[in-house]
Chains A and B, each alone.
Chain A
Amino acid sequence: MTKPHAIVIGAGFTGVAIAYDLAQRGFRVSVVERGPIANGTSGRTHGLLHSGARYAVNDQESAIECIQENIILRRIVPDAIEPNGGLFVAVQEEDLAYRDKFIEGCAACGIPIRELTPQEALRLEPNLNPRLLTAFTVPDATFDPLRLALAFAASAKAGGAQFYLYTDVVDLLRDGRGNVCGVKAWNRAADRRFDLLAEVVVNATGAWVGQITAMAGIQVPIAPTPGVMVAYDRRLTQRAINLLNEPGDGDIVLPQRRMMVVGTTSFTIEDPDYVPVYEDHVALMMERGSALIPALRQTRERGAYMATRPLIGGTAPGRSISRTFKAYDHAETDGIDGLVTITGGKATTLRLMAEKTVDVICRKFGMDVPCRTAETPLLSYRKFYL
């Protein structure tokens, strides 16, 4: 039997992880991406490899996925991760009200935490706000966004996947019955247009999924929801520092290389192609970040940027394969075969999203191949170019 051909649109985290999994499970894979690898939301993420503790109170399903995937990614992509752990820190009386719920939630989700006295915490991280009230260690980590994506892309390529970069999908190809059978593409690097036929097209375009489904006349209720992050030019901690409270704006301060990165905010927009970085958001990051690490005030801004979450409307008709991300088989939701849309999730759960999505696709093709991506370490990201 010849391998079925799958086209993956988008080479963000979702796209590259799906391409890798598809290639491993016996598909012939083509990835069509309009820019370089991870130029969309994925490249611009904050870079926190979540321990899940952030969600342990409000969204335990996410939290459990995070801790499991956190452990897997540390093993399979060691060269994109600073595995130094994290702290949750209470700085105000009101933060302490969250303490008990936090301990309970982490226990329920299997996230290993340990409470420190303020003195212990300050010994570990001398630049923390000296007025902190309590702190917990959590197994957070920092990841390098581009290299995380490249490691999956390199491994997909080794499995035979072909990457068409700087190539926009400008339309979907339809067969006589209206089903999707490929894409019309525009290679901007060579200014050449071509058609690519496939048995299945996977729409992994994150905040842009609605633009692709619209090409088949399908509406998906996506609200592009950007957030701003600011990088400062000095590294002040070794661990990720989180505010011990409900998730909010500017409550995570992350070390990365020689920088500290503070994030993030949340607002909705219409068109995700270009979102300006608002200066009041930048000022807010400094204000919130320096509440956790006062020395941030003595650093200089090195970069300010934004990324766009694809938030899914609550009444979405899609079949939810997980509450934390959505895969639509448009044969089921809209009667149009050959197109699968996947969106949502987190960088931390990219491998799991791919596993679940490729499970759905394999079922469509009557293939019974187990997922093996959790077991094998990925190739070095450099192999993508070699």
Chain B
Amino acid sequence: MSDEKWTVTFIVFRKKDEQPVRYDTFTLEVSPNEYVLDAVERIWAFHDRSLVFAHACHHSTCGACGMRVNGVERLTCITPIREVTRNGGTVRVEPLRNFPVVSDLAVDMSRLYQAMDVVHAQAVHPLDAAPLEGDGIRPPRQVPQPEEEGEFLRLADCIECGLCVSACPVAGTDPAYLGPAALAGAQLQSIARNPDLLSVVDCAEGVWRCHSAYECTAVCPSNVQPGWRIMDLRRQVVAQRIKALLGQR
């Protein structure tokens, strides 16, 4: 790799308590291969200790570091600076939308966790619930099963980062909307296997609230494709309702 250095100006959203919002600028020397989160952490370490931001794993498995970078929802720990600006350019960093701001870049994601809890979205599920399609590298399509232990389990794709909720225009006007991640969590379990979910998602705050902007799928960093899953869930709901109707006759 290279020792290439860029000078980049970060324009950072700031908010403390009831004080009005302001934007602070910090000019940093960065490597273009560094990730946006690295720069944010450096701003905290060397420029302004009062900066508040959320992060934990730094490799896209925890979902804590979602922010809006130049207006687009990004998982900052895996967004290379190279992708969002150029040498001498700027990067605008703001908190996610559609959640309350705790302070600066950190938001309160209870709404998402609440919704995930309501649909009992599984954090760990059998491998075949979301198969790995492999993309050419000897895909373990028929994944060999561990002999004694039974089925392989896998941490769910959804890392509960909230990017989809932030990008969803409807989530901004309807705080009670379950949101893309939770509906995707419901779809993965399938209503046929888990009939209790039907009443949770077949309502105004569930699948029918979606207005098909597909922003959730566009920003999801973790291959969940919530937009597609919401639509598939609608299909499941209708199928269940029709079945129930026919069954009652």
Contact = CB atoms under 8 A, between A and B. Distances in A.
Nearest to A120: B144
Contact of A238 (B1, B127, B138): B127
Interface stretch (B81-89, B109-117, B208-216, B235-243): B109-117
Main secondary structure of the interface of B (DSSP, over half): loop
Contact of B59 (A303, A383, A386): A303
Interface stretch (A79-87, A343-351, A360-368): A79-87
Interface stretch (A15-23, A122-130, A200-208): A122-130
B102 A386 contact: no
Given A189-B16, A257-B222, A231 B60 contact: yes
Contacts of B222: 257-258
A93 interface: no
Interface in A280-305: 282-283, 295, 298-299, 302-305
A161 to B, nearest CB: 18
Interface stretch (A35-43, A62-70, A212-220): A35-43
Nearest to A230: B59
Contacts of B42: 274
A238 B20 CA distance: 49
A37 B143 CA distance: 35
A252 to B, nearest CB: 14
A256 interface: yes
Given A189-B102, A382-B116, A385-B109, A124 B144 contact: yes
Contacts of B57: 43-44, 145-146, 305
Contact of A39 (B50, B55, B144): B55
Interface in B23-74: 31, 33-35, 38, 41-42, 45-46, 49-52, 54-64
A36 B104 CA distance: 13
A346 B242 CA distance: 54
A143 B155 CA distance: 9
A240 to B, nearest CB: 13
A17 to B, nearest CB: 16
Interface stretch (B146-154, B163-171, B186-194): B146-154
Nearest to B34: A277
A146 B114 contact: no
A375 interface: no
A168 B49 CA distance: 10
B154 to A, nearest CB: 6
Contacts of A235: 132
A245 interface: no
B1 A283 contact: yes
Contacts of A166: 52, 102-103, 106
Nearest to B50: A188
B124 interface: yes
Given A44-B57, A258-B223, A295-B138, 4 more contacts: A36-B55, A127-B138, A380-B123, A382-B117
7 contacts: A127-B140, A188-B50, A238-B127, A256-B155, A257-B157, A273-B45, A295-B137
